[in-house]
Amino acid sequence: MIEDISSYPYNYLIPGLLVLATPLLLRLKNSSSSSSVGKMTSTAPEHTVVVLGAGFAGVPIAHHLLKRTPANVANVRVILVAPNDAFFWNAAAPRGFLPVEDTSSSANPKGTPGYGDDKLFYDIAPGFAKYNQGATKRFEQLVGRATSLDPDRQTINVTLLAGGKVQTIHYDTVVVATGSDTADGMPFKIVPNGGTAETKAALAAYRDQVRTASHIVVAGGGMSGVEVAGELGSVYGSKVVGGSAPAAPKSQKKDIVLVINEPLPLGTYGAKESIRQTAADRLTSLGVRIINNSKVTAAAPSGTDGKKTTLTLDGKDGKTSTLATDVYIPAVGITYNSQFLPERLLDTSSKGQRRVRTRKTLQAEGYDNVYVIGDAANLMPPSIKNANEQLEILAVNLQAHLANWAASQSGAKKNGGTAPATVPLKEYATSDTLILAVSTGPAGGTGQMGSWKIWSLLVWFLKARFMGTEKAQDYANGNRLMMNTKW
Ligand SMILES: Cc1cc2nc3c(=O)[nH]c(=O)nc-3n(C[C@H](O)[C@H](O)[C@H](O)COP(=O)(O)OP(=O)(O)OC[C@H]3O[C@@H](n4cnc5c(N)ncnc54)[C@H](O)[C@@H]3O)c2cc1C
């Protein structure tokens, strides 16, 4: 099923004709019993689903396929392709920029608010081991990035993270769940130039810098920027919001600055002004200084040892200023991971931002065996909630897709090619209702549901106290979604 084209020893001997026949050979190899994922025991036909991406959408759908596909429908085999071999609970990443202190010795007034790797990263392989017991090997993990996908030949080239070799894999069905990255390669997501280890290293470097810094600048008025500033303010700021804990002692105080290119934070989501004002007030109360209507347009090393960063700020009033800091944390911008797909599959409009043109059935336009989910689909703004709602539809649709495929296989055999009845696919209902919960440190935050404000206590209860990490291990093991505990 998998061809390592860069290390194949007899490549140079293969005549051109054989090269042209490669797709056919790959198909034959796929259905042969000597597959690299092991012998299948059931008599149902084999079907390979490749899941691209191991984030909030990819990991659960890979589990669901392996757990829930009836053995008499299809001998489903899943190949999970992603650069990360650990599931990154990136919703808690804003807390991961802060050092994890030792509770017993810390002078930190709020205990240990920083999150280490144990709270943020969850090995993927152990959760899937149960599908590969005995002779039946139904799951395979490729640690690398898809670099091209040919929807007509049903092949994907994957560049492996270790060594950079390219492998070509064939699929019967593919799920594109490659999500998004944050600008400047920041470790709010798996970093674009690496995988789990590189993302951990990038976060560790920030923790080290934050520990010794006396001045930190965060740029970006979206959720990531507000949440990082909130975490920093909660630990190192000079004031406290509504809690009994004392403000940071003088020895621990740092100047925390948030630069936003609008009057108030959270503008990009269309949140109400009163909620944006609450976010700003909460940060200010924590001791975060907000520089509004300004954009960081350049960042250059400075200071005698080059350890400082001097930022250039362009104000909306036309004025330019500079700001020197010990640590600069850009939390601006998002790019969608669709570079490996043919241009015709992408929504190149300014709203689409090169996400995949996706039908309400969660199939890519033009290809019934290419499914798309999460941030990579152009249906809804990026959020875990939206990805989770899409998962509920995708899970049903993939089962219908497999049943239809199996019926077409047996129908073709029995009736000399007569098309069997098809199980209809469900449609995902998009919605304009804004749901936003933004933490400003472990003590709470603010948010909006429709036109209603979400009170800080509820944000604390639902999000801020653990940043969802209490669900992470079960989520990574395929036992649950955010709300659905019977996945
Ligand atoms: C700091 C931060 C905090 C957030 N907090 C919240 C929150 O509290 N609530 C909320 O609803 N949303 C939140 N979000 C948004 C949320 O993280 C995303 O909506 C969610 O991660 C989308 O899941 P996904 O699986 O579609 O994509 P991702 O989580 O981006 O996962 C994509 C996967 O694909 C992999 N990949 C990338 N390129 C390739 C490739 N070429 N080939 C193979 N694999 C590839 C990636 O490494 C990753 O494994 C937050 C985002 C950030 C940045």
Q: Is the CB of 337 under 6 A from ligand 1?
A: yes
Same domain for 44 and 153, yes or no, is: yes
Q: What is the pLDDT of residue 23?
A: 37
Render pLDDT for 216-261 as a digit per residue (tens, 0 to 9): 999 999 999 999 999 999 988 865 555 545 566 666 789 999 999 9
Residue 377: partners with Cβ closer than 8 Å, 6 or more residues away = 176, 355, 356, 358, 362, 390
Domain that holds residue 376: 2-85+124-178+336-414
pLDDT higher than 70, residue 5: no
Q: Is the CB of 52 under 6 A from ligand 1?
A: yes
More confident residue, 299 or 420: 299
Residue 321 lies in a domain: yes
Percent pLDDT > 90 in the chain is 77
CB 459 within 8 A of CB 445: yes
The alpha carbon of 375 and the centre of ligand 1 are apart by a number of angstroms equal to 7
**Shortest-distance Cα residue to atom 30 of ligand 1:** 179
Q: Is the CB of 379 under 6 A from ligand 1?
A: no
Contacts 24+ apart (CB under 8 A), 2-7: 2/36, 2/79, 2/140, 2/142, 2/167, 2/168, 2/169, 3/29, 3/167, 3/168, 3/169, 4/165, 4/166, 4/167, 5/166, 5/167, 5/168, 6/165, 6/166, 6/167, 7/165
**Shortest-distance Cα residue to atom 19 of ligand 1:** 383
The CA–CA distances, whole Å, from 161 to 177, 182, 211, 454 equal 18, 20, 31, 42
Residue 161 lies in a domain: yes
Q: Is the CB of 78 under 6 A from ligand 1?
A: no
pTM: 0.90
More confident residue, 414 or 252: 252
Residue 322 lies in a domain: yes
Mean pLDDT of 406-410: 88
Mutate to test the pocket of ligand 1, among 190, 227, 355 (most ligand atoms within 8 A of CB): 190
Query: What atom of ligand 1 comes closest to residue 373's alpha carbon?
Result: 26
Amino acid identity of residue 235, one-letter, is V
Q: Is the CB of 83 under 6 A from ligand 1?
A: yes
pLDDT higher than 80, residue 419: no
Same domain for 99 and 147, yes or no, is: no
Of the candidates 384, 461, 361, 5, which has an alpha carbon nearest to the alpha carbon of residue 179?
384
Query: What atom of ligand 1 comes closest to residue 468's alpha carbon?
Result: 8
The alpha carbon of 56 and the centre of ligand 1 are apart by a number of angstroms equal to 6
Render pLDDT for 129-152 as a digit per residue (tens, 0 to 9): 999 987 888 999 999 999 999 999
Same domain for 144 and 258, yes or no, is: no
User: Which CATH number covers residue 266?
Assistant: 3.50.50.60
Instruction: Give the number of domains in the chain.
Output: 2
In angstroms, the CA 468 to CA 482 distance is 8
Q: What is the pLDDT of residue 44?
A: 80
Q: Per residue, what are the HEC states of the chain?
A: CEEECCCCCCHHHCCHHHHHCHHHHHHHHHHCCCCCCCCCCCCCCEEEEEEECCCCCHHHHHHHHHHHCCCCCCEEEEEEEECCCEEECHHHHHHHCCCCCCCCCCCCCCCCCCCCHHHHEEECHHHHHHHHCCCCCCEEEEEEEEEEEECCCCEEEEEECCCCCEEEEECCEEEECCCEEEHHHCCCCCCCCCCHHHHHHHHHHHHHHHHHCCEEEEECCCHHHHHHHHHHHHHHCCCCCCCCCCCCCHHHCCEEEEECCCCCCCHHHCCCHHHHHHHHHHHHHCCEEEECCEEEEEEEEECCCCCEEEEEEEECCCCEEEEEECEEEECCCEEECCCCCCHHHEECCCCCCCEECECCCCEECCCCCEEECHHHECCCCCCHHHHHHHHHHHHHHHHHHHHHHHHHHHHHHHCCCCCCCCCCCCCCCCCCCCEEEEECCCCCEEEEECCEEECHHHHHHHHHCCCCHHHHHHHHCCCCCCCCCCC
Mean pLDDT of 183-204: 97
Same domain for 96 and 189, yes or no, is: yes
Render pLDDT for 68-105 as a digit per residue (tens, 0 to 9): 999 999 999 999 999 999 999 999 999 999 998 654 44
Local confidence band at 365 (pLDDT 50, 70, 90 cut-offs): very high
Q: Is the CB of 54 under 6 A from ligand 1?
A: yes
| Residue located via tokens 């600048």 | 217
Query: What atom of ligand 1 comes closest to residue 57's alpha carbon?
Result: 25
Query: Among 391, 414, 437, which residue terminates a domain?
Result: 414
Listed range (3-7, 326-330, 399-403) with the worst mean pLDDT: 3-7
Residue 9: partners with Cβ closer than 8 Å, 6 or more residues away = none
Residue 245 lies in a domain: yes
pLDDT higher than 60, residue 328: yes
More confident residue, 412 or 188: 188
**Shortest-distance Cα residue to atom 50 of ligand 1:** 91
Q: What is the pLDDT of residue 153?
A: 98
Same domain for 262 and 380, yes or no, is: no
Mutate to test the pocket of ligand 1, among 336, 384, 435 (most ligand atoms within 8 A of CB): 384
CB 441 within 8 A of CB 262: no
Query: Among 414, 447, 470, which residue terminates a domain?
Result: 414
Residue 303 lies in a domain: yes
pLDDT higher than 70, residue 7: no
Same domain for 162 and 292, yes or no, is: no
Local confidence band at 33 (pLDDT 50, 70, 90 cut-offs): very low
The alpha carbon of 382 and the centre of ligand 1 are apart by a number of angstroms equal to 8
pLDDT higher than 80, residue 107: no
Mean pLDDT of 123-131: 97
**Shortest-distance Cα residue to atom 18 of ligand 1:** 383
More confident residue, 101 or 304: 304
pLDDT higher than 60, residue 37: no
In angstroms, the CA 441 to CA 455 distance is 14
The alpha carbon of 412 and the centre of ligand 1 are apart by a number of angstroms equal to 40
Q: What is the pLDDT of residue 134?
A: 78
Mean pLDDT of 35-58: 78
Render pLDDT for 424-461 as a digit per residue (tens, 0 to 9): 999 999 999 999 999 999 989 999 999 999 999 999 99
Mutate to test the pocket of ligand 1, among 178, 386, 483 (most ligand atoms within 8 A of CB): 178
**Shortest-distance Cα residue to atom 7 of ligand 1:** 91
pLDDT higher than 50, residue 372: yes
Query: Among 286, 311, 332, which residue terminates a domain?
Result: 332
Q: Which residues pair with 347 in a beta bridge?
A: 355
**Shortest-distance Cα residue to atom 4 of ligand 1:** 91
Q: Is the CB of 385 under 6 A from ligand 1?
A: yes
Residue 476 lies in a domain: no
Same domain for 320 and 388, yes or no, is: no
Same domain for 325 and 355, yes or no, is: no
More confident residue, 166 or 31: 166
Residue 85: partners with Cβ closer than 8 Å, 6 or more residues away = 123, 124, 125, 141, 143, 195, 196
Residue 196 lies in a domain: yes
Q: What is the pLDDT of residue 240?
A: 53
Same domain for 170 and 109, yes or no, is: no
Strands 155-160 and 139-150: antiparallel
Same domain for 174 and 36, yes or no, is: yes
| Residue located via tokens 């669709």 | 338
pLDDT higher than 80, residue 421: no
Same domain for 389 and 261, yes or no, is: no
Same domain for 18 and 147, yes or no, is: yes
The alpha carbon of 160 and the centre of ligand 1 are apart by a number of angstroms equal to 20
Residue 484 lies in a domain: no
**Shortest-distance Cα residue to atom 27 of ligand 1:** 179
